[in-house]
Amino acid sequence: MSGQYPPGGQPGPYGNNPQGDSGQGPGDSGYGQPPGSGQPGYGQDPGYGGQQPGYGGQPGYGGQQPGPGGQQPGYGQQQPGYGQQPGGGQQPGYGQQPGYGQPGAGSPQSGAGSPPSYGQGGFQQSPGATAGSPGTPGYLAGPGGPQGPYGPGQYGGQPQQPPKKRNTRLLLILGICALALVILGVFGGVALFNNAQKAAAAKPPAAVQGYLEAVAAGRAEEALSFGAKPPPDKSLITDEVLAASQKRAAISGINVPVSETPPKGVTTAVDATFNLGDEQVNQRFTLTKVGDDWKIDQVFATVDLTDLRLEGLPMLINGVKTEAETANLLFGSYELTSGMNSIGYGDDKFLVKSLTETPDLPEPVATLTEAGNKAFVSAAKASLKACLAQKAVKPPNCPNRINPSPGHVVTASTIRWSSPEAGWDEFKGGLVANSDGSYMTKGKLKLKFLFTAAGTINGNPGTFNNNSWSNKWQYFYVSTDLTKEPREVFWQQEY
């Protein structure tokens, strides 16, 4: 035992620099040059046909360098790399795995004292391959090869693999396409999300829009379909009722703004504006989500009719008779009538402009309608005509009468009544409530009468007239019940 470790030499700073028995160090025979080998030192240029330079693969100690065209020693044989221990039980170099077919201890390449080649990697030449052939490890070691003049890895480093050719243009195109797909996916997702948000946000306003359009078009059942609950009484929510409303005050200019964000939760509110006749209406609707649909919480108003009723008169709203205390109504114009041409409710119209607030209701008073007044005047004229035709000095229930003086006897068959003047142009009736809830039509009429007749005066033939007062106006109250047929007219003189 020489006491050296590892056996056969001591590693130098670059590769293994073995020391023989002579104990030569790095500075003795060319740095890294084995003694007695005749090989030039690192960086020496041998002549043509001389020894192989020490780059691209070192031959072992004592190896004769072949001339041109000769096989270079070291190709296909495993040489210890940097940090590799020569000799028996050879260890792989630093970071080096033993190549396929690497010789073990006792082989010619593994004897004690054989120094490693500088820069030689642990590559094994494949069987049947020649040194320097492409695809073999030795190919990388040739001078002037792909690795440059210094061979694979300077100073015992790992040999470099041949660079893999990559189609950078294809990779760039694929990357751009992938990025474009990602961007399109992101924008598409955002667009789909925004569209879904807008669609969800539009549903409540769409319900309100549909409801108001149905009311405006007079489609009662369709309007009610937008509601969350039906009205308890639909007798006044009909197409006919809405048609009558539209004639007086049409719904127009419907505007229901749409929000950009969908409602949170299952309830929301939607504001709408529209015109009801000449008036603008602002209404806030509350809605509840029922399944995938939004329903309006309240689509009808409830109106108290208690203060609108007139005793003794029937009540009709837009032509539909009702006896209920309340009425369920949609937006619109409503008119109270009695169902009779002659008697009405006076201030008889009102608008439903809100579904939650009480409308401004009229203060109805039984009123003789224009048609009723005409009927009343006609009844009074007919009654007077009948009275003037009477052959009596005092026709019953008539304005024309005289009181004969004592001793005057009037022959009935000779009586002639006439009314040269009457105040018909000024005559106008009005309604008076009776204690039993009925209504009488009453008016004041001024008349002048002419009377002629024959008879006897104290037994002697004579004639009679009212010339003394024929030119004098007399005033009478005329009344009748226009709710009854035939109409009976009553006359009462004003004194």
The mean pLDDT of 228-243, rounded to a whole number, is: 96
Cis peptide upstream of residue 137 (ω within 30 degrees of 0): no
Question: Where in 423-493 does DSSP place strands (E)?
Answer: 429-433, 439-457, 460-465, 474-480, 489-493
Query: What confidence score (pLDDT) does residue 495 get?
Result: 82
Give me the percent of the chain exceeding a pLDDT of 90.
Answer: 49
Tokens 């007399």 -> residue:
474
Phi, psi (5° rounding) for residue 382?
-65, -40
Q: Which fold has domain 198-365?
A: Nuclear Transport Factor 2; Chain: A, (3.10.450)
Residues 439 and 125: their CA atoms lie apart, in Å, by 133
Q: Which amino acid is at 451?
A: F
| pLDDT beyond 70 at 97 | no
More confident call, 211 vs 105: 211
Q: Would you kindly state where each structural domain of the chain is located, as residue ranges? A: 1-157, 198-365, 370-493
Half-sphere exposure of 423 (CA within 13 A, CB side): 17
Residue 240 CB contacts under 8 Å (≥ 6 apart), including other chains: 318, 319, 320
Residues 245-292 pLDDT 10s: 999 999 999 999 998 788 888 999 999 999 999 999 999 999 999 998
Query: What confidence score (pLDDT) does residue 468 get?
Result: 86
| pLDDT beyond 80 at 83 | no
Given pLDDT bands bounded at 50, 70 and 90, which one contains residue 177? Answer: confident
Helices within 98-238 (DSSP H only): 168-216, 220-225
Q: CA separation (Å) from 314 to 318, 339, 361? A: 13, 7, 18
* Of the candidates 334, 343, 394, the residue with the CA atom closest to the CA atom of residue 371: 343
Average pLDDT of the residues of the chain: 74
The mean pLDDT of 126-154, rounded to a whole number, is: 42
More confident call, 394 vs 140: 394
Query: What confidence score (pLDDT) does residue 192 get?
Result: 60
Dihedral of alpha carbons 438, 444, 445, 446, sign: positive
Residues 151 and 140: their CA atoms lie apart, in Å, by 7
Residue 363 CB contacts under 8 Å (≥ 6 apart), including other chains: 307, 347
469 contacts 448 by C-beta, under 8 angstroms: no
Given pLDDT bands bounded at 50, 70 and 90, which one contains residue 354? Answer: very high
Residues 455 and 409: their CA atoms lie apart, in Å, by 5
pTM, 2 dp: 0.57
Q: The tokens of 355 are what? A: 């579904």
Given pLDDT bands bounded at 50, 70 and 90, which one contains residue 159? Answer: low
Residues 85 and 77: their CA atoms lie apart, in Å, by 16
365 contacts 347 by C-beta, under 8 angstroms: yes
